A and B are shown apart, each in its own frame.
Chain A
């Protein structure tokens, strides 16, 4: 799992991200943001600026995703001309009110879980790995009791992740619909289309990464709060 995680660590990344949330009723909400991210060891920094819809255009976010401590987030609201730092400790919190959590969008930390092979692991060219939170508090923080990940034996690409709630029922599935090799060589890959289904409320979320660039040079001073309003 550590190897698989390392393959998804993107280093530098620039992309246009389209997030579409679809309610059970069919109502949809779409957000388009420009995203720039860079990984520094166990810390991932992301800058996101809203392009669409019009009334939130210019809204910007800076996220410092610390693997071993709480995340930091700054947000700029152009209509109020305000930048505010948001402090949150919950990794299980929804990402932009979608079915993805902040933890799903980051590369993840395997140290929070007990990891083991499922009985069917190895069949059909897939590893099936179960990750169980180390303790109750971690489980509560992440918002699930266990997850099961399907990985291709060849290449260790993630195909699907099932999440189980505290009743032991499957409540969410994330499918990796499309990946793209990192530009600039190497064996890593970028997940460019992910689809999350909430089996309890029928809501789905799709995130698409377009105009992807993993070899761009991103200056370190990109990730400062002063840049949010620019």
Chain B
């Protein structure tokens, strides 16, 4: 490999740079996809159903302009509402409008059926205002839809026309609002606004989060490696890896999502590790009494570190590929991209860094030698921990078990949250608007029930009416609308209250057909467009949820299914809320399967590395404990599993497994040298222990950039990734050594024996393997920072 690098060094440098430039140029073409329903596969049943409903009844995404005041029935407020209503009506980007000024009043009076606008003119005296208030309270098409019951909030709702670019529509709405005197009392909401905020915040995050993570990593590298020349090499791998990986997104044809933000952060945190091994090992070789020549140095460098770096990279890739078991599409994409990025980082570390080191050697540049940190705070802390573990391994294990079990009680309180409004912080306009909509206007999330059959059939219409009334009584339902409401309202205008047909579904299909015709003559036929199709063969029942919680949505779905089991029509259940409930189910399944996949992959790799299934199991302990702690803390702190936090476990497994491998590998080699268990542990702490801690802290530092994300969900991800990697780190350096001392597992001994036997037969091969192990564990941060106890082992 060294020969290859020497021969093709300029090719390696040129190709790496050219690849980064070519793919980097593609990055600006990346589109952001803010549509959360694209998180779930198109083949999922709820998505198919929803698409089918939207094909007949149009996209149900609504823009809401909300006005709040002590009373919305003032001339100024009503004037603003009227202007917004008119503005909406004139916009091509809005298909249908709903407001106080589009609401109709259907009433029977003196033998007349009067269909008129609810507000014919803005009241100019208290008596007329009071009359309007009473009219609103009596109007089921306005109360709780266009005006809240307490008259303190009004809503103008527009259904978006998907044929017009959404940003144009939203810009136009903003300019209409800006022209109003009541602008300051207004809030905007609805999915189109949420999508716009997501795009804005994703772009903002990408612009700030990635540079900040890079700066943090630059500082961490400077602290670890000392001189800027040494920092340059692993840092250039980080930068090139991030550019190449992000450039893959448009190349593959994917789009950027909220979750994609995590890819560069993962890579910035992880991609430098392999380069650091090489740079520190290079320093170590330079420190030798007789430093090897350039070519020999390269040979020793690549020969000793190639396999351990590959093992480390492969375990990380395996953990990240666990995300492929997720059914959340962006989660799979994050898995593929992050794993590809790690592969790129591996390749660049194994080829580019040695090439740069070779060239640097040729230029005769001096390498600053590492300082002695053996007396620093970190070394003293590690020393204290090692003493504690060696003296009281049983107590350490007991305490760890108690802490883990105590925290695990939080798992009982775990909850899933798929509401994308909760991605945003509490004071964000999206959250304020959704809270207002949920409390005053029935709710921002909906379930759609499509009834396919002869809608004019009285039995079908009565069924729709029964379902409408039944759902209005259910927990978490804010309001329900159906064609049955319109028919009943019309009967109130056609019949007197004492007559039989008043507020009832008519008994004949002719009567229903004629009432539809009557509405077409008197009302606006577009009013019915969302409730019934053109051919009167499909009806749409819309349920607004005041509490869009997954349990409530699932209960409602089951209730609707059982209630409509005997219907004389086909029932299709869909809508955003149903998709989100299925999404929640997918998150749980994805969480379990990705966890199992990642654990299994890591277990197999560990078993291969330690040549023992038991070794694989023991090596997985820190991961298992960290997973328990992560979910326990999430339950105790009420942080929900959502699209972002669902990725935690796989990322933690991919990143955190290294700590245990490094510790056990070194411990194994110390035992092999004939040291006692306790002495081997002490030596492992002094050498690899320090490097593991610094490695872990640098990864955590990289992820800490997520704290400033605009998305609450990404921030929670950041807190939790620190927690889980932190607990993985502590497990690797506290629980694993205590476990080794207390149980003295046979796989470590058996391994030693086998190597010894093999050593007798083929000393040369084993010597090479042993030196590889030592070089890897010694040649990390610990060595760079002065813990260079490679114990005389030379490759």
| Residues of B with C-beta under 8 A to A80 | 494, 501, 506, 511, 514-515
Within 8 A of A (CB), among B486-545: 493-495, 501, 506, 508-511, 513-515, 517-518, 520-522, 524-526, 534-535
A97 and B525 within 8 A (CB): yes
Query: Given the complex, which residues of B lie within 8 Å of A166, measured CB to CB?
Result: 86, 89-91
CB of B786 within 8 Å of the partner chain: no
29 pairs of residues in contact across A and B, judged by CB atoms under 8 Å: A21-B534, A27-B535, A29-B535, A55-B456, A56-B517, A73-B522, A78-B514, A79-B510, A80-B494, A80-B501, A80-B511, A80-B515, A84-B113, A84-B493, A86-B112, A86-B114, A86-B522, A87-B116, A88-B115, A89-B116, A89-B120, A90-B117, A93-B524, A94-B524, A94-B526, A140-B89, A145-B90, A165-B90, A200-B92
- Closest residue of chain B to A54 (Cβ to Cβ) is B510
Q: Please report the number of residue pairs spanning A and B whose Cβ atoms sit closer than 8 angstroms.
A: 103
Q: How far is the CA of A137 from the CA of B515 in the complex (A)?
A: 30
**Residue A59 is within 8 A (CB to CB) of chain B in the complex:** yes
Which 7 pairs, one residue from A and one from B, show the smallest C-beta to C-beta distance?
A: A166-B90, A97-B525, A84-B113, A85-B112, A79-B511, A97-B520, A55-B513
With a cutoff of 8 Å between Cβ atoms, the chain A residues found around residue B493 in the complex are 84
How many Å from the CB of A36 to the closest CB on chain B?
17
- Chain A residues 154-195 with CB under 8 Å of chain B are 165-167, 169, 171
Report the minimal beta-carbon distance from B14 to chain A, rounded to whole angstroms: 54
Please determine whether A75 and B518 come into contact, CB atoms closer than 8 angstroms. Answer: yes
Chain B residues at the A interface, C-beta cutoff of 8 Å = 86, 89-92, 108, 111-117, 120, 161, 456, 493-495, 501, 506, 508-511, 513-515, 517-518, 520-522, 524-526, 534-535
Q: A50 with B517: in contact, given A84-B108, A169-B92 (CB under 8 Å)?
A: yes
User: Footprint of B on A, CB under 8 Å?
Assistant: 21, 23, 27, 29, 50, 53, 55-56, 59, 61, 73, 75, 77-80, 82-90, 93-94, 96-97, 140, 145, 165-167, 169, 171, 200
- Bound CA span A82–B493, Å: 11
The reply to whether B525 and A94 contact each other, CB–CB distance below 8 Å, is yes
Question: Which residues from chain A contact B525 at a C-beta distance below 8 Å?
Answer: 94, 97
How far is A82 from B495 in the complex, measured between Cα atoms in Å? 9
List chain A residues, Cβ under 8 A from B508.
Answer: 79
Give chain A residues whose Cβ lies under 8 Å from the Cβ of B510: 55-56, 78-79
A200, B96: Cα distance in complex, Å: 13
Residues on B with C-beta less than 8 A from A145 are: 90
The contact of B515 among A21, A77, A165, by CB within 8 Å, is: A77
Q: Which residues of B contact A87 (CB under 8 A)?
A: 112, 114-116
Q: What is the distance, in angstroms, from B640's C-beta to the closest C-beta of chain A?
A: 41
Extra inter-chain contacts (12) besides given A77-B511, A86-B521, A165-B92, CB under 8 Å: A59-B514, A77-B515, A79-B510, A80-B501, A84-B113, A84-B493, A86-B112, A87-B114, A88-B522, A145-B90, A167-B90, A200-B161
Residue of A nearest to B526 (CB): A94
CB neighbours of B113 from chain A (8 A): 75, 84-86
- By secondary structure, the B interface counts as mixed
Does B509 lie within 8 Å of A75, measured CB to CB?
no
A93 proximity list for chain B (CB < 8 A): 524
- Which residues of chain B have C-beta atoms less than 8 A from A171's C-beta? 92
Q: Give Cα A198 to B495, complex, Å.
A: 36
Taken together as a complex, chains A and B put the C-alpha atoms of A166 and B90 apart, in Å, by 5
Instruction: Give chain A nearest CB distance to B174 CB in angstroms.
Output: 16
Chain A residues with CB under 8 Å of B513's CB are 53, 55-56, 79
A189 vs B416: C-alpha distance when bound (angstroms) = 70
CB distance from B416 to the nearest CB of A (A): 38
Min Cβ gap B513→A in Å is: 4
Q: Beyond A89-B116, A94-B525, A97-B520, is A77–B494 a contact (Cβ under 8 Å)? A: yes
Residues of B near A23 (CB, < 8 A) are 534
- With known contacts A84-B113, A87-B112, A75–B522 Cβ distance under 8 A: yes
Residue of B nearest to A200 (CB): B92
The answer to whether A84 touches B520 (Cβ under 8 A) is no
What residues on B are CB-neighbors of A61 within 8 Å? 521
Q: A55-B514, A167-B90, A169-B92 are in contact. Are A86 and B520 (CB under 8 A)?
A: no
C-alpha gap A23/B120 in the complex (Å): 32
Distance between Cα atoms of A56 and B525 in the complex (Å)? 17
A79 near B506: Cβ-Cβ < 8 Å: yes
- A78 contact set on B, CB distance < 8 A: 510, 514
Cβ-neighbour of A167 out of B86, B92, B515 (below 8 A): B92
Whether B494 pairs with A82 at a CB distance below 8 angstroms is: yes
Residue of B nearest to A143 (CB): B89
CB distance from B127 to the nearest CB of A (A): 22
Cα distance, A45 to B535, chains bound together (Å): 30
Kindly state the separation between the CA atoms of A89 and B514 in the bound complex, as whole angstroms: 22
Which residues of the other chain, B, contact A167 by a CB distance below 8 angstroms? 90-92
B494 close to A96 (CB less than 8 A): no
Residues on the B chain within 8 Å of A50, using CB: 517
Measured between beta carbons, the chain B residues less than 8 angstroms from A140 are 86, 89
- Nearest chain B residue, comparing its CB with the CB of A136: B86
B92 and A86 form a contact (CB under 8 A): no
Tell me, in angstroms, the Cα distance from A148 to B547 when the chains sit together. 51
CA A196 to CA B521, docked complex, whole Å: 18
| CB contact under 8 A between A88 and B506, given known A29-B534, A55-B513 | no
A140–B117 alpha-carbon span in the complex (Å): 13
Closest chain A CB from B448 CB (angstroms): 19
Chain A residues within an 8 Å CB radius of B108? 84
Alpha-carbon distance between A89 and B456 when the two chains are bound, in angstroms: 29
Contact (A55, B92) CB under 8 Å given A77-B515, A93-B524: no
Residue of A nearest to B514 (CB): A77
CB distance from B57 to the nearest CB of A (A): 13
The smallest beta-carbon distance between A55 and chain B, in angstroms, is 4
Of listed A29, A83, A85, residue having the most chain B CB within 10 A: A85
